[in-house]
Amino acid sequence: MTPLLLEHLDDFAGLARVRIHTDWTDDEDALADRMAGARVAMSTGFRAPASLLARIAPDVRCITFCGTGAVSFIDLEAARRCGITVCNAVHYGDNAVAEHAIALMFELTHRVGELNARTHAGGWPSADIAELGGRTLGLVGFGGIGRRVARLARGLGMRLLVWDRRPDGAALAELGATRAERMEDVFAGADVVSLHLALNDGTRGIIGPRHLDLIRPGGMLVNTARAELIAPGAMLERLRRGDILAAVDVTDPEPLPDDDPLRALPNLVITPHVAWRSDRALRALVEQNVRSATAFLRGKRYQVIV
């Protein structure tokens, strides 16, 4: 993201000097040293627990987070106690994540990546594939990304079944989607379940074994939202039964340890949290974070969540 940030240096003219660190570290001492004397810190995903926030609070008064899920990286309650403003970015990658969700569905059905790897390895492997058209896609969450996934899926000829606490009725009608009264109805009634909820105290672990047990044999689960939406261990235990498929772009923890049992599952496709990293999304992400930082320096507010 550094080249994109460099394009915006003039935005800080007369407001602040900009110090950029291009090498990654998650060491708390190093992070505290790097932010010493800074009024605003732009985060590209470092962890900010209460201990780090307390150390930087005398100087840092605002953190801009490069993403939507700040709660996964920053102790927001500790930031509030320390008087540190936290800003995030929204809707910057709706289309990128939605396309990746569809790509994961295609991998589960058409197996392009798997067949490419097998063919490059030698021989002429044979395999059956499946189609998405005519299947029912169940969406858990119907925000910006969920609605974009729905539009793409409808173009593929999929039926739509949607659960959301406050669904957009106009969007449901426009897309010809059916509203599910309960989240359980989506898991029981869809051929493919795709998760698109934001992670917060109300959604952490909201999906448990009883939901995953409702997925019919041959069904598929896709998660490009947050791994923590699913109760710890529940997806692993369901997939070990071997009768469903899953594809995820998110894990808990991240990075996923090399010896994590999820890596050994043949019915699971894993990508390393890259769904949001398109060229267009990265540009929009940097633009929002620069706007948040410069607004704070001017005594204004933009995308403030704490």
Q: What CA–CA distance (Å, rounded) separates 68 from 90?
A: 6
Of the candidates 226, 228, 238, 291, the residue annotated as catalytic is 226
Active site residue 273: yes
Q: Are strands 136-140 and 85-87 parallel, antiparallel or unpaired?
A: unpaired
**Chain-centroid distance, C-alpha 292:** 21
Q: What is the DSSP secondary structure assignment for residue 273, as one 8-state letter?
A: S
Active site residue 254: yes
Query: Tokens 């002429």 appear where?
Result: 124
Q: What CA–CA distance (Å, rounded) separates 292 from 306?
A: 13
Q: What is the DSSP secondary structure assignment for residue 18, as one 8-state letter?
A: -
Give every CB contact of residue 52 below 8 A, 6+ residues apart in sequence: 28, 31, 32
Of the candidates 81, 254, 263, 280, the residue annotated as catalytic is 254
Alpha helices in the chain (DSSP H): 2-6, 28-35, 50-56, 76-82, 94-110, 112-121, 144-155, 169-175, 183-189, 209-212, 234-239, 279-297
* CA-based nearest residue to 230, from 295, 160, 183, 179: 183
* CA-based nearest residue to 228, from 246, 247, 201: 201
Residue 230: strand, helix, or coil: strand
Report in angstroms the alpha-carbon separations of 201 from 51, 72, 76, 77, 198.
21, 11, 11, 12, 10
Of the candidates 196, 211, 238, 273, the residue annotated as catalytic is 273
Active site residue 99: no
The set of catalytic residues is 226, 254, 273
